[in-house]
Chains A and B, each alone.
Chain A
Amino acid sequence: MPQNDYMTRFTRLHGRRLDHEERSRKKEARQAHKQSEDAQNLRGLRAKLNQQKRHKEKIQLRKQLKAHEERDVKSAGEKDPSAPLPNYLLDRSNPSTAKAISSSIKNKRKDAAARFAVPLPKVKGIAEEEMFKVLQTGKKVNKKSWKRMVTKPTFVGPDFTRRPVKYERFIRPMGLRYKKAHVTHPTLGVTVMLPIIAVKKNPSNPLYTQLGVLSKGTILEINVSDLGLTTTSGKVVWGRYAQVTNNPENDGCVNCVLLV
């Protein structure tokens, strides 16, 4: 494994050897032979690792084949589109856009009652004893235990750097940090994995909001630019709020619904 980009740097400076294309083509062509030989002749731990690797590759391969098959089936079957489309869009297989939705969202916003409604209105509070583990520092352990470790999943912004050990009161473990969430669009019924922008509100405690704790009922801001929603003035909608619907600490993932 290269520890730096010195290989790409070298090729940028000096180029590749002249027969590089041919060699790589031949190498790829021999790949099957190499794999077969390895599969037959490796022994012990190496054989095990090799099998694991092939197993994973084959899973990916089957998934891809299945996706191809599904796509073919779709194009073959001539189904009437359900919603009216202009002539120039009739023959195009349009990915169902998240567009109609954006207007339905707007319509719903109009009634004031719905403005503050969220899918999970009541949330169980989390006590600080449960949330934080006390870390003991220094010699006079019983007197000054001021350091805490967050025991729940958290979202930590991309520009966060830890403070010096002496000043760091809350530790958010690396293993419990999440950057992405599975976001479900309630009316469209689609779930997409999208990056989290920020934690807007943790209903249990403002401190948890500050720390970015992800618990059930937390309101997140999600980067929905991939969904292609636009405002009425024709600008791309970037951030939208969503509420966490599962217990991330139990499930190991964050699921949420967009707020409409």
Chain B
Amino acid sequence: MATIAPPPSKRQRREVLERSQVQADVTPAPIEAGSFKARFIDSDSNQLAEVVEIPLADASEKNVSLLLNTLLGRDKEEFTPYKFRIHLPGSDVILDNYPSPSEFLAVLRSHGVANPFETTLTLSAEPQSVFRVQAVTRLSHKISGHGQPILACQFSPKNSKWLATGSGDCTARIWDADTGTPKCTLTGHTGWVLAVSWSPCGTWLATGSYDKTVRIWDPETGKPIGKALTGHSKWVTGLAWEPYHMWQDGTPRLASSSKDGTVRVWNPIVGRAEHVLSGHKGNVTCVRWGGIGLIYTASQDKTIKCWNAADGTLAHTLNGHAHWVNHLATSSDFVLRTSYHDHTRNVPETVEAKRAKAKERFEKAAMRQGKVVERLVSASDDFTVYLWGDPSESTKPLQRMVGHQKQINHCSFSPDGNLIASASFDNHVKIWSAKDGRFLNSLRGHVAPVYQCAFSADSRLLVSCSKDTTLKVWNMQTFKLAVDLPGHEDEVWAVDWSPTDSRVGSGGKDKAVRLWCR
């Protein structure tokens, strides 16, 4: 027999009656009249425009962004969207999220600003990209063809049409992402293809293999260019092309890192090793070619070394990590990878113009406080990420970023250089501010180690791949899960976001390349 609840007491009945009689107030709270003074600064703390007074009712982020563009005297076509951070007067607190006009006062008051009308707020303006990449939401193509797991993938910088993948079946393949069909198969290696890398101009493809060789291919025809580059005594772990604006009379150079502890700088056209950078005492896990003439290498001997690319001498050694350094990213990775290919798809005619454009893009991305500075971020087995500033100034890290609870496998800079993402074996991706290494947020959702992550070209989205067979797309404004992409049948080992549009390629243990689109 069910127990009957006791009848409501007199007080309860009275409350119910009152609730039914009084109508709830559903009109939104009126925005208080008034205005505040705003001072705009850029990321280097230089004042952008004069202090202006903004009425509170109109102080939405979009309006303020428009206002700043007008103050800077830009034409309508050149308007740049901005993201604002609010520096509270008289304290070090920075509000990362710009509140809506109705919440504005409450947010300020909750942070201890007693009278917002009489204080000048400092708004630091971060320019956002003028184009927008939309989140990928569905599987567009599942392409089988590789006979073994896929170990690496990268989109061509020239057009996001071609995706190159390296596999355990000793071949690399190029796929046409528009139609989801194979374009060509690059056969020649006798071991697993561990690394694939497109040249910045998109006319060559380099592959590094478990058979200790590096090969160069013509992606149009799928034919090898020259012979295999031999010299390493262990397998090749990573590849990095020389940035386009530094090419000497049109010939590129290529750096390859190896398990044997050396990095070799090749002239791939001639097929000759120009320098052998030896000095690491362990497996070189990652190599990056910076835009200011330095080659950065990370190694399992706990150090990061910077080499002069011109003569192959050691410039600096960055110590700090207490265990293997697994991955390395520079703030200019994206612009160097894409060189003169930008979102407008206007490719200059002549080589000089191409070089000038590549150089201009690089300098624009790396310019800080009026200087070209490349920052490095390194992920390590000691559960920390280090942010390094200009190594010629100091070999001390700018910031040591702690918080991960297991080894960190991968880290990457956002294309606009404002965010750092680190993917770890503790199932999380963490987002850090690239300016000072401040912790911004943790992206939780994967249920197994996260292997790699990639930013979209507009830095507003991030895709991460994991052992739990899924890809997840994260929104970088709210730091929330945007889309969950199940579909792989096994671990996902490689992921790449195309450098211009919303297209993601991924591959893993289930041997099929998957392309994801909007």
Contact = CB atoms under 8 A, between A and B. Distances in A.
Interface string A218-260: 0000000000101111111000000000000000000000000
A230 to B, nearest CB: 5
Interface string B263-284: 0000000000000000000010
A84 interface: yes
Interface string B151-187: 1100000000000000111000000000000000000
Contacts of A233: 470, 484, 486
B300 interface: yes
Interface centre among A85, A86, A88, A90 (most CB of B within 10 A): A86
Given A233-B470, A234-B469, A86 B490 contact: no
B451 interface: yes
B327 A88 contact: yes
Q: How large is the interface on A (under 10, 10 to 19, 20 to 34, 35 or more residues)?
A: 20 to 34
Q: How large is the interface on B (under 10, 10 to 19, 20 to 34, 35 or more residues)?
A: 35 or more
B288 interface: no
B146 to A, nearest CB: 10
B490 A99 contact: yes
Contacts of B486: 232-234
B122 to A, nearest CB: 42
A90 B326 CA distance: 12
B151 A230 contact: no
Nearest to B447: A236
A78 to B, nearest CB: 10
Interface in A15-56: none
Contacts of B380: none
A232 B489 contact: yes
Contacts of B324: 91
A88 B328 CA distance: 12
B149 interface: yes
A230 B237 contact: no
Interface centre among A84, A88, A228, A231 (most CB of B within 10 A): A84
A97 B152 CA distance: 21
Contacts of A103: 489-490, 510
Nearest to A92: B407
Given A230-B469, A234-B447, A99 B149 contact: no
A44 to B, nearest CB: 53
Interface of A: 83-91, 97, 99-100, 103, 106, 228, 230-236
Please give me the 8 A-B residue pairs with the lowest Cβ-Cβ distance, nearest first.
A84-B168, A234-B470, A233-B486, A234-B468, A86-B151, A103-B489, A86-B493, A87-B194
Given A87-B152, A232-B486, 20 more contacts: A83-B168, A84-B168, A84-B192, A85-B149, A85-B151, A86-B493, A87-B195, A88-B285, A88-B451, A90-B194, A91-B324, A100-B490, A103-B510, A228-B448, A230-B469, A231-B469, A233-B484, A233-B486, A234-B446, A234-B470
